Amino acid sequence: MQKRKLGVLGLEVSALSLGCMGYSSDARQLRDRAQMIGLIRAAVERGVDFFDTAEVYGPFTNEEMVGEAIAPIRDQVIVATKFGWDVDAATGVHNGGVNSRPDHIRAAVEGSLKRLRVEQIDLLYQHRVDPDVPMEEVAGVVKELIQQGKVKYFGMSEASSDSIHRAHAVQPVSALQSEYSLWTREPETDILPTLEELGIGLVPFSPLGKGFLTGTIDVNTTLDSADFRNSIPRFSTEARTANQALVELIRAVGDRHGATPAQVALAWLLAKKPWIVPLFGTRKVERLDENLGALAVHLSADDIEELEQRSAEIGVQGERYPAQMLKLSGR
């Protein structure tokens, strides 16, 4: 497995990361727990050592599942989790907003340590920036947790360049998690230059466009009524029809390499910077193997230029999130 470094403090991880957020048909009951534990362990067998969860996934049940999965192989894995949503520590009720008050951060970390069955969280992200709490204060609390040995590295998610600079000045940030893919390229404007300047790694989530860039979803695909993507403007009938042109572009490049659209989308991210570690999710071993195959796809400079120029010409129709969620993005 290829390795990549995130930040300058020593965090080194597998070149691809497995996200665990979607590992349940029922967020609170986690009925597919055994299947997902098996998938995590299968990923470790294949060399993946970087796994992503959060207290809000469930809430809580996802961290518990990940904790069970890694318990016998703790020394082989690096686990990232997150605080920052207003989740009641006692009941697990998600109150909808953000919360990065110092006492809330400390309580969230204590809960995550127990659920993950670990003595130290490898990478702790602030899930979303809290406009009511200064970034310096948030970073200061994380710095204390690092000094106490409860956290090893500090990360942020969907944060603006200004927020990153302010936090990094107090406690060095090792990684930023943000949406970035061939159909979400906004980070190229100011986020990537900021990360390059400060020596921070990028862990792009939704690198496959929530499944759309894999080529397995089109205008005729019927999503389950409970599927979150039904609320995303980019998945409307009109948007899916228009955005199909981007998938066909990716497919055409893949055909030249004997690669699937998913592998090309991941290979493009891997080729952008040596400090980018794409974070994908899957529920199936065959998809895990397909995505890991992206590591063997080597796009040429001409391939990359074609993907970037033509995708810009095609454009993408529809916002990446519903309006209310976009308001909570720190960008």
Catalytic residues: 57
**Residue 32 contacts residue 23 (beta carbons within 8 Å):** yes
Letter string b/e over residues 121-138, b meaning 16 or more CB atoms within 10 A of that residue's CB:
bbbbbbbbbbeebebeeb
Q: Of 75, 147, 87, whose CA–CA distance to 118 is shortest?
A: 75
**Residue 121 contacts residue 129 (beta carbons within 8 Å):** no
Q: In angstroms, rounded to a whole number, what is the distance separating the alpha carbons of residues 266 and 85? A: 29
Radius of gyration of the chain (CA): 19
E-strand ranges in 160-243 read: 173-179, 201-205
The kind and range of the H/E element at 5 are strand 3-6
For the record, the structure tokens of 150 come out as 């409860």
Q: In angstroms, rounded to a whole number, what is the distance separating the alpha carbons of residues 61 and 55? A: 8
| Residue 47 φ then ψ, to 5° | 105, -5
The kind and range of the H/E element at 155 are strand 151-157
**Residue 102 contacts residue 137 (beta carbons within 8 Å):** yes
Q: Of 94, 90, 24, whose CA–CA distance to 53 is shortest?
A: 24
**Residue 155 contacts residue 124 (beta carbons within 8 Å):** yes
CB-based burial of residue 89 (10 Å sphere; 0-12 exposed, 13-18 middle, 19+ buried)?
middle
